[in-house]
Amino acid sequence: MAEGPYRVLGVSSDASDAEIKRAYRKLARQYHPDRNPDDAAAEERFKAIQAAYEAVGSAEARREHDQRRRMEDMFGGGGFQGNPFGGGFGGVDLGDILSQFMGGRGAPGGFDARFSQGFGGQTQSPATEHPQSTRGADIEAGLDITLEQASQGTEVRFSHRRMRRCEKCNGSSFGRSRRCAPCSGTGVQTKGSTLTVKVPPNADHGHQLRLKEMGHEHPEGEPGDLLITLRLDAQEGRRWEEGRLVQEVSVPVTTLLLGGKVRISTPAGKRVQIDVPEGTRIGDRRRLQGHGHSGGPLDIEFTLAEPEELSESQRRALEELRDSGL
Ligand SMILES: [Zn+2]
């Protein structure tokens, strides 16, 4: 199986949209054909990076990709070809039906047994966990906010598409008649909804907000919920790893080898001086307590500062070092 787009771009699947964009720009520059003429390996990488960015580079494409991934996880990948309902539901967005059917992670979502039979017994319907509940599926979505917004709390307008009860039959044709034109007998239609999301102060990266009954509506039962996962954009040079903020600090090669000091700017905007021990390697880390988001830890990762251009004396000094065997 091909590498997933997040992996190709070197970001985690819960990275903010902005982080994905930055990672893409950096890699695209690095592997651009203009910079790597006649290098087939670089060209292949460049194409993979482009394709990955097309898959998750815009909010809509990313939502679609994540939703498809959740489905594949449930069906073991490539499970269905064509319409699992065996036709007859023309004009209905299959992805919507499936997302309605399956719901989010572990959600007691879904259409009832009449529909699950359409899958030919291929699926363990999540509804079997709650045989009595007929409920629309939950919707999962990510929401990007800044570190500052997360610290102070904020309100964000949020738009998403969801199944609403059919405006003509109000769900009554579901499972009974396919003749209701707006819904083709599914009892529901896809529509856009906009709402205001209240983010409480000191929200953490990955925190999930549950908005009751803002998920998919069910033609006969209760609506599902909208589950919004907060993604805190840590800005250039920072990323999240398992709930911790990691910040790259570029250090001149001489400081790595000989030791020294570097100054960094923390997420809170403070300037802090850090000791770099002699013999520090690229990728070495240090944890700074209290300098991360909301006073949490900040992990510093040392990277190599690449000089733009060497001066004459630097070049001479490096040549001497080379001749000495370093
Ligand atoms: Zn209808």
Q: At 264, which CATH number?
A: 2.60.260.20
* 165, 293: one domain: no
Give residue 60 CA to ligand 1 midpoint distance, Å. 27
Total domains in the chain come to 3
Between residues 219 and 113, the one the model is more confident about: 219
Collect contacts of 318-326 with beta carbons under 8 A, ≥24 apart: none
pLDDT, tens digit (0-9, with 9 covering 90-100), for 13-37: 989 999 999 999 999 999 999 999 9
Q: In what order do the strands lie in the sheet with 244-251?
A: 238-241, 244-251, 298-304, 285-288
DSSP string, 39-73: -HHHHHHHHHHHHHHHHHSSHHHHHHHHHHHHHHH
* 154, 206: one domain: yes
Instruction: Return the closest-CA partner of residue 244 out of 293, 207, 209, 280.
Output: 293
* 52, 105: one domain: no
pLDDT classification of 126: cutoffs 50, 70, 90: very low
pLDDT, tens digit (0-9, with 9 covering 90-100), for 234-283: 888 999 988 889 999 999 999 999 999 999 999 988 999 999 999 999 99
* 103, 206: one domain: yes
Between residues 85 and 294, the one the model is more confident about: 294
Give residue 216 CA to ligand 1 midpoint distance, Å. 15
Integer Cα distance of 83 and 80 in angstroms: 8
Question: What mean pLDDT, rounded, does the chain reach?
Answer: 83
Q: What tokens appear for 154 in the block?
A: 């904020």
* 278, 216: one domain: no
The verdict on residue 215 lying in a domain is yes
Q: Which domain holds residue 268?
A: 238-324
User: Which H or E run contains 146?
Assistant: strand 139-146
Please measure the distance between the N-terminal and C-terminal CA atoms of the chain and give it in whole angstroms: 42
Is the model's pLDDT at 107 over the cut of 90? no
Contact, 31 vs 25, CB < 8 A? Answer: no
CB-based contacts of 300: which residues, under 8 Å, 6+ apart? 246, 247, 249, 264, 274, 285, 286, 287, 288
* 45, 103: one domain: no
Give residue 91 CA to ligand 1 midpoint distance, Å. 13
Give residue 133 CA to ligand 1 midpoint distance, Å. 22
Q: What tokens appear for 114 in the block?
A: 């009449």
* 154, 229: one domain: yes
The verdict on residue 297 lying in a domain is yes
User: Which residue is listed with tokens 């856009």?
Assistant: 192
pLDDT of residue 253: 93
Whole-model pTM: value is 0.70
* 100, 204: one domain: yes
* 272, 225: one domain: no
The type of residue at 7 is R
Span 145-172, mean pLDDT? Answer: 94
* 162, 264: one domain: no
Give residue 254 CA to ligand 1 midpoint distance, Å. 71
Give residue 52 CA to ligand 1 midpoint distance, Å. 38
